Structure 1
Amino acid sequence: MMTTALQQQVFALDARYNAHRAPESPNFRTLYIRRRSQLLRETDRNSDQWKQYIKLRAMLLQQRYGNSKTDSGSNTNLSRTMSRTSILTDLQVPQFSRTNTVIPTKEAFASKAIVGGNTIAENYAFSGVHHIFDQHSKATTMIKFANNDRSRLCCSSLDGNLSICDVTSDPPAVLAVLKGHTEAVPGFDWSINNDLIASVSLDATIKLWKVSDFACLRTLKEPNSAQMLCCIFQPSNNNLILIGNSKGDIRIVNVSTGLFLKNICKIGGSILTITTDNNGKILWAGNNRGEIVSLFCELNGALCKLKKITFDPNCIITNLSYRAWISREARDPLLLVNATNNSMCLFSVTDSEGGLYLKRKFQNRHSRHMVRSTFCPIMSFREGACVVTGSEDGSVYFVDVEKIGTKAVVNTLQGHSSSVLSISFNYDESLLATSDLEGLVIIWKRSTNNIEETE
């Protein structure tokens, strides 16, 4: 096992017990775990010495603090919207269900030239911890960098608050905590020009926040008092916000008027995730019945259902992410799907009505929580097609979906002590943010050195 992986195991062990350290001083805990990360990177040991150190460190921490808490003791308010769960199983290495080639291919020489001959594993060698945030007292449900931005990161939480961080300042800092929702905040979205943030809550409200001064511009109550579970700005008309609620409806808010449009599209179940294509014409919604529905959205907000697939009636769709391959070599649009049947899937978008065809399916430990994944924003244009996913085993997996079996996982990050829920890259992929069930947000920096090959 490579040294970097063993160092991450030590860091994960320290992170697991960090909540026990100075419970009245969160700033000290953050400083402590950051310093531990720095010391681990600077320490030169061989693999056998690292293994011995892990055993000794684990024994000492257990003697001092006892057994650390696990996910099973965590209480998530979102459980009210998730009626179906399954028993956790051991994580298995992703196994693809098909062997056809995913675009872009190895023959995409123009894209390959951009990376200067680096291997895909070298391109995704994120390992060092840049910073750790712990401003939220409960699970951090979603994290998202501002559009085309290196530094500003927004986080939402089950504690009912949102926070905006500057991850590149010296030191990285929490710029503001946005308070106003009275219940959990499962999701939010940045407007295209990053001047507004829309957040939805289980308190049946949507709030619009001004990023310039962090003030709440407007609060809107859902007309039927349904819990609001997800939202997204319409890409081609940022005056409209698409919302999914607990009664299975897709609704639209007009930002200028502060009113809900009369047009409602009924999907069924609880709408937990929404995504659109690049121009906002085709919308996909996932619910707690294992269904994915495509819709047509006009610029004026008119909605029309197109197609529906039932992926698995016994699972919950927790995340949808769209990506159009717009390079010369690759033109195949894809939909990335996380579901609570211990899987992450890649679907091809087959037609102008948002039809889907299963291209890849692989296993990931995911059966209870709102785990998300994302496409890599830049490097996916190059050789290989990589996605990054969270997992309920506390790890972050970088997966090259062109590869089969164990070679598909090109990097694994270990540092969270509970389920990894959300993931976000900044626009140039220099930093990766990940969040977990205990409210911890880790900012990972891209390694400048070539990573070692695993055995």
Structure 2
Amino acid sequence: MTTAFQQQVFALDARYNAHRAPGSPNFRTLYIRRRSQLLRETQRDPERWKQYLRLRATLLAQRYGSSGIETGSSNLSRSSSISTDHNTSVVTPRGYLVPTKQAEASRAMVGGTSIAENYAFVGVHHIFDQHTEAVTMIKFANNDKSKICCSSVDSTLSICDVTIKPPLISAILKGHSKTVTGFDWSANNDLIVSSSLDGTCRVWKVSDYSCLRIVQDSNNSQLLCCMFQPINNNLFITGNNRGELKIANVSTGRFMKNICKIGGRVLSLASDTSGKIFWVGNDKGEIISLFCELNGALCKTKKILLSPNCAITSLSYRAWISREARDPLLLVNVTNNSLCLFSVLDGEGTLQLKRSFQNRQQKHIVRSTFCPIMSFRQGACVVTGSEDGSVYFVDVEKVGSRAVVNTLQGHASSVLGISFNYDESLLATSDLQGLVIIWKKENIL
């Protein structure tokens, strides 16, 4: 309970932080870092924390005006912001999304703790503020605990090491002239490909942080997303504002002639682990399934329409969700205030809605992710950002308010990017103001 009140006090300060010294963002960042440190070091019983929270909220409101922040104990979980949409929920014939009620072996692997205990991220490990504008995407390197990359509206990328003491910024990658919309790590983390509104993709060498290739779109289209071909990292795929998917060759630095037209603005990409099936989301509310030929060409197979007036901002694939339930799943963020979970039915990428949760998202590119090692646990947890500034841990097996097993409150603006390191010891989140928070589990690091 004490750590919950600490987290709420930190969130209160973060939400008022934009009012402090408006012309000095560096001061605001230093202030919130110091507040985080003091909260970790201070010990109070729950009742004293409750009194302190009320007093702190009153003083801040008097100084800066009302910020619309609730201070009652009911605000601790804020589970009312995200709940199951029963009108669109689909339950499997067996009755559960993840039939692991008797999964004793899975429970033993994690010490018999509950899913809520496993995802009790309560501490702030570090705060980065190297970006002056929104951080559009954040992602840990593959099978790595410490190395993380961020992309930003300020036209740069940054690579950070978060486990050394103190954490540091290893490099700032400069070269794009406009917003960096997304990026991807290669399988062995030796390359990063980034996409930008300047109409180029850049391939970066991680060893010396140099730009290896610049691939220019032939029509100077805005490139909105990109990813490496999972089984052939000499190829990467881009989506642009003309509704086109193009494949580029790293060795030649050129796009291939094959163009797959999707329609709308291509905002998100995902693939299965074999690299044979891809899914694409656009701003028309459509998810298109594609088959990747041996020569790299993409062929459309299926299409579903979620809502004609929404955008598909994030797609995340999981090959299997537990040892007891091996159904492939696709996690989807939609700007109609929903987070959707689909099952993948066949080799053509056909999707069937399993469950939908309400989430505050209407205009920003908000992302979500599966928890990396949930396959060895009872239950199944996903994590999503939100435009209300919170980070939600959702057990997709549960319904209603019980689905939210943890809520992190520390950002003062919409949470856009989200990423776990591979062993789940750290969670990274980024927001609309350019702040990156590295969260840790209790007693970690």
1:68 positional shift: 6.8
Q: Distance in 2 between matches of 1:235 and 1:294?
A: 16
**Structure 2 residue matching 1:262: 3-state secondary structure:** strand
In structure 2, how many angstroms separate the alpha carbons of the residues matched to 1:98 and 1:424? 27
Cα distance in 1 for partners of 2:437, 2:214 equals: 30
> Cα offset for 1:258?
0.6
Aligned residue number for residue 76 of structure 2: none
Match in the other structure for 2:263 = 268
* Corresponding residue for residue 94 of structure 1: 84
* 1:391 and 2:386 correspond: yes
Mapped to 2, the partners of 1:175 and 1:66 lie a distance apart of: 39
User: Counterpart of 1:422 in 2: which secondary structure?
Assistant: strand
Aligned counterparts of 1:164 and 1:324: Cα–Cα separation in 2: 28
Structure 1 residue matching 2:440: 3-state secondary structure: strand
Deviations 1:112-148 (A, max 9, x none): 2211211111111111000000111111110000001
Alignment partner for residue 323 of structure 1, among 318, 323, 328? 318
- TM-score normalised according to structure 2 size: 0.91
Q: State the shift of 1:432 in Å.
A: 0.3
Matches within 5 A, 1:326-345: 328-345=323-340
SS in 2 for 1:264: strand
Q: Deviations over 1:305-329 (max 9, x none)?
A: 1000001111110000000117542
Q: How does 1:97-116 map to 2 (within 5 A)?
A: 97-99=89-91, 100-116=95-111
Please show how residues 69-88 of structure 1 align to structure 2 within 5 Å: none
Report the counterpart of residue 221 of structure 2 in structure 1: 226
SS at match of 2:180: coil
CA RMSD, Structure 1 to Structure 2 (Å): 2.1
Partner Cα separation in structure 2 for residue 393 and residue 277 of structure 1: 31
Provide the C-alpha distance between the structure 1 equivalents of 2:352 and 2:442, rounded to a whole number of angstroms: 36
Structure 1: tracts of 5 or more residues without a match: 71-89, 450-455
1:18 aligns to what? 17
CA contact (8 A) 1:26 1:134 kept: no
Task: Normalising by structure 1, report the TM-score.
Answer: 0.90
- Answer yes or no: is the 8 Å Cα contact 2:216–2:254 preserved in 1: no
- 1:61-81 deviation per Cα after TM superposition (whole angstroms, max 9, x unaligned): 3454556799xxxxxxxxxxx
Q: Secondary structure at the match of 2:111?
A: coil
Query: 2:323–2:375: 8 Å Cα contact kept in structure 1?
Result: no
Q: 1:433 and 1:231 mapped to 2: Cα distance?
A: 20
Equivalence for 1:282: 277
Q: CA deviation at 1:298?
A: 2.5
Distance of aligned partners of 1:20 and 1:214 in 2 relative to their CA distance in 1, 3 Å threshold: farther
For 1:31 and 1:380, how far apart are their aligned partners in 2? 39
1:9 aligns with 2:8: yes
Give runs of aligned pairs for residues 154-165 of structure 1, distance below 5 A.
154-165=149-160
Per-residue deviation at 1:6? 2.3
Aligned residue runs from structure 1 range 50-449, under 5 A: 50-65=49-64, 91-96=81-86, 97-99=89-91, 100-325=95-320, 328-448=323-443
Paired AA for residue 410 in structure 2: G
For the 8 Å contact 1:104–1:385, the answer to whether it is kept is: no
Q: CA deviation at 1:422?
A: 1.1
- Distance of 2:436 and 2:58 partners within structure 1: 26
Deviation at 1:379, TM superposition (A): 2.5
> What's the offset of the Cα at 1:380?
3.8
Q: Is the 8 A contact 1:104 1:381 kept in 2?
A: no
Give the residue type in structure 2 aligned to 1:94.
T
Percent identity of equivalent pairs: 71
**Structure 1 match to 2:77:** none
Distance in 1, Cα, partners of 2:277 & 2:12: 44
Deviation at 1:47, TM superposition (A): 3.8
Is the 1:34–1:129 contact (alpha carbons within 8 Å) kept by the matching residues of 2? no
In the alignment of these two chains, the number of paired residues is 429
